[in-house]
Amino acid sequence: MKFGGTSVANIDKIKNVAEIVKKELNEHKLIVVLSAMAGETNKLQKYLDAIDSEFPLENDLVLTSGEQVTIGLLSSILNKKNIKAMPLLGWQIPIITDDNYENAKILNIDKNLINSYFQKYNVLVLAGFQGVNKKGHITSLGRGGSDTTAVAIASAVNAERCDIYTDVEGVYTSDPNLVNKAKKIPKVSFEEMLEMSSMGAKVLHTRSVELAMKNNLTLQVLSSLTKKKGTYILDEKNLIEKEIVSGVSYSKNESKITISGIPDKPGISAKIFGLMTQSNINVDMIVQNISQDGVFANITFTVPSKDHDFVKSIIEDNKKLIKYKSLQTNKSISKISVIGMGMMSQSGVAEKMFKTLANNSINILAISTSEIKISVLIDEKYTNIAVKSLHDVYNL
């Protein structure tokens, strides 16, 4: 069981979590993964910003501290109820990660300690979002990463299920906090969920979906405040009906980078994206077109907005290497995606999307597709209207 920040936002909410754990315990032994209290990690980030901290080791030490508080509190409440609980930090298990501070990947989880603790305790309360690298330093898994802790632990111990408790009742056809008409989806495939998350639906950390898919671990997203069934995320073979479009996602955290007047020669793209890889920048959409005379090319791509300034400086510093004429960047853009397994066998989905945007006088800045997704870049100020009108036009 994993409980997100809003589910452990204060003492009453943590007591509520203890009740949910107690009920579930009748049937199983449990691992409970917690986030920090809602807003806490943002607060810690602000402290780091205030001192312009540029040391990843210290940053992760500070950022991961909120989880220590919540696991201690929950374990204490459970023990008061005579439920044998033990709180554990990432390094104690240990959850071994790579050295990529602030966005570390889990390399290995030692099951031995967990198994031996289960001889004595019925509930292990684990801090989400954190691990330890081989040097013994604390690392964090990236914002929203406690979902990934939960899925990784559940996979490591071959758990029956992994339930992710949050502040909405499941996965919806679009962000329920933006689209009033959004509906809860009873079941969604790993593939669709992966596209939804990576295209902005922050209800699940993208890497948690990747891991669940790899290990074929069924997830349930549900609310810690209502007792309703949530959304199951599972293997596609278990889905009887495949919706043509099952959801609309958006992300405002994108920046568009356009490099113009690049010599149209082999190796230039490799140079540009090689620079991005060296700096650990996650590039998403890439669009290239060649000028009419076939001499020059333009490349447009998107990067997370937090990396915008850094990427801009890398490209400027490498003007001689890339040999481009001009660079334009734009922070105020939004990526809108429609996602659905049925797209593989149906035509007309793209046309409907483009028509709907045109009817709302929204200009498309770039397009990219996968088998089960179409994404467009638009001006950020049209995000709400684009998401709502697409949600309507596909009858979600």
Residue closer to Mg ion (CB basis): 144 or 170: 144
**Segment near Mg ion (CB under 5 A); pick from 23-31, 115-123, 137-145, 347-355:** 137-145
Which of positions 320-339 make contact with ligand ASP (CB under 6 A)? Answer: none
Which of positions 76-135 make contact with ligand ASP (CB under 6 A)? Answer: 128-129
| Shortest Å, Cβ 168 to ligand ADP | 5
State the residues that interact with ligand ADP by CB under 6 A: 4-6, 35, 144, 166-168, 171-172, 174-177, 196, 201-203, 247
Residue 145 found at the interface with ligand ASP (CB under 6 A)? yes
Size of the site for Mg ion (CB under 5 A): 2
The correct pick among 1, 9, 31, 41 for binding ligand ASP (CB under 6 A) is: 41
| Shortest Å, Cβ 38 to ligand ASP | 8
Residue 152 found at the interface with ligand ASP (CB under 6 A)? no
**Helix/strand/coil (H/E/C) assignment for every residue in the chain:** CEECHHHHCCHHHHHHHHHHHHHHHCCCCEEEEECCCCCHHHHHHHHHHHCCCCCHHHHHHHHCHHHHHHHHHHHHHHHHCCCCEEEECHHHCCEEECCCCCCCCEEEECHHHHHHHHHHCCEEEEECCEEEECCCCEEECCCCCHHHHHHHHHHHCCCCCEEEEECCCCCECCCCCCCCCCCECCEEEHHHHHHHHHCCCCCCCHHHHHHHHHCCCCEEEEECCCCCCCEEEECHHHCCCCCCCCEEEEEEEEEEEEEEEEECCCCHHHHHHHHHHHCCCCCCCEEEEECCCCCEEEEEEEEEHHHHHHHHHHHHHCHHHHCCCEEEEEEEEEEEEEECHHHHHCCCHHHHHHHHHHHCCCCCCEEEEECCEEEEEEEHHHHHHHHHHHHHHCCC
Which of Mg ion, ligand ADP, ligand ASP, none binds 87 (CB below 5-8 Å, type-dependent)? none
The correct pick among 144, 176, 200, 230 for binding Mg ion (CB under 5 A) is: 144
| Shortest Å, Cβ 205 to ligand ASP | 7
| Shortest Å, Cβ 32 to ligand ADP | 14
Binding site for ligand ASP (CB under 6 A): 4-5, 35-36, 41, 66, 128-129, 143-146
